[in-house]
Structure 1
């Protein structure tokens, strides 16, 4: 359980909690916070053990759930729309299953119900690469597979050779532990119990978490809406306008 969680709030209105993926940083959502906060109270946070948030013990999905509940209580929020991206979708699933009274709706973004063999093999490769080559090589692989080619060329490409031995701020031990955390946790067999509004959002060109995982989630959750975008694994960043429109349309349909 965390002893100190960094969080930030912006805007006023119905509460929205944005839960980031494997990186676990509140800053992942920066492009989306500005448009959302015009009409909503937007809460972001660093996961326990990541960024400015401390952690006592190993990371876990239930530990992140506890952190979200702690933040809701601290900010006097009874219920919130919850948006969980990638690893954050596991947190959103658990929140919705175990604390439905706190969840007005859930958006499961680039998520999955349970890892399949391709998922397991790809994450095993990422763990191996991180252990053998370090943080710079790991980050380079993530950028190459998680972003669309045009976005990569605009944001990350350099004139020189790719430097996979550059100094890196990646916390190797924590990143390894967080990958193990998500590989060893699922609630697939319980998703049929969900009785709150759920939208499942995936990208057809997501190489990290293939779109069929979103299709699987939508089949398993009663009444879930399925939305397909493009933009690779990080559609909230690469297709912010379209992603924002999907969220707004979903939430406005509930009123």
Structure 2
């Protein structure tokens, strides 16, 4: 598993960041410098993506992805960490907190959910059709439409072009993507939330095209130790499009845990 450590590795607390379907450690560029001021920061490429190359096995599940985080934690000598997860990364965080609660100090979940919503499945049906019928490059070109607001994309064309070039050279395969999407669609911990023992922060964007922000509202109602932060704008990838607002949420959430 490929990972990086940022900040002072001697910090008493660690934070581990897990990205969404793209699986890339580079997703968190706007957050790492801020978090490194107070934490040992661990970022990684999920298995079957980027520099963690490999063929995903049949029946691959979110529980397998949570086990990958445990591997990264062992390799990086991180006994316990605050977990920040975006979408799929949030599901992985939830699963890890349920199966290995001693490893999770807190969860901060960005546009995540406890059971995959039918609207999200509809979006994935469209994305799978694009992938199967038009191929990987067209799928990756279409991906920002589900992640970012149109005005932000209009103003950040060069960044999106660089991101596309990076993704095309990152070893993505159609089979791995389909296996990861299948794992997302099958995810359901809605009956286990009462077992969560750590504080949870929930970040939701009202204009998220892929995941209705009501999913975070519903999660908040089900949890006993949760804090909800709602952004009016930012889309699915709000930590990328609204970094200042998002980083303020980070500071607020972690200050409250002290």
TM-score above 0.5: yes
1:108 matched to 2:133? The reply is: no
Q: 1:50 to 1:254 in 2, by over 3 A?
A: same
Return 5+ residue gaps in structure 1 as ranges: 159-166
Deviation at 1:147, TM superposition (A): 0.7
The Cα of 1:11 is off from its aligned counterpart by 0.4
Counterpart of 2:221? 219
Measure how far apart 1:135 and its partner are.
2.1
Quote the residue 1:195 is aligned against: 197
For residue 180 of structure 1, report the CA deviation from its aligned partner: 0.9
Structure 2 equivalent of residue 130 of structure 1: 131
> Counterpart in 1 of 2:2?
6
**Residue 105 of structure 1: how far off its partner (Å):** 0.6
- What is the DSSP-based 3-state SS (H/G/I as helix, E as strand, rest coil) of the residue aligned with 1:249? helix
2:248 maps to 1:248 = no
In the TM superposition, residue 188 of structure 1 has moved relative to its aligned partner by 1.1
**1:207 — aligned with what?**
209
Contact 1:113 1:187 in 2 (8 A): yes
Q: Note the C-alpha offset of 1:168.
A: 4.6
- For 2:69, the equivalent position in structure 1 comes to 68
Equivalent residues in 2 for 1:83-94, closer than 5 Å: 83-94=84-95
1:85-127 per-position Cα deviation (integer Å, ceiling 9, x unaligned):
1001110001111111111110111101112322222211110
**Cα separation, 2, equivalents of 1:188 and 1:128:** 28
Compute the displacement of 1:60 (Å). 2.7
Regions of 4+ moved over 4 Å: 167-170
Distance between the aligned counterparts of 2:243 and 2:15, measured in 1?
16
TM-score where L is the length of structure 1:
0.90
Q: Distance in 2 between matches of 1:9 and 1:173?
A: 30
CA distance in 1, matches of 2:168, 2:197: 43
8 Å CA contact retained: 2:119, 2:211:
no
CA distance in 2, matches of 1:26, 1:57: 18
Contact 2:80 2:104 in 1 (8 A): yes
Does 1:237 find its partner at 2:243? no
| Counterpart Cα distance in 2 of 1:149 and 1:128 | 22
Question: Per-residue CA shift, 1:207-240, capped at 9, x if unaligned?
Answer: 1111011111111211211111221010111111
CA RMSD for the aligned pairs?
1.8
Matched residue pairs, number?
Answer: 243
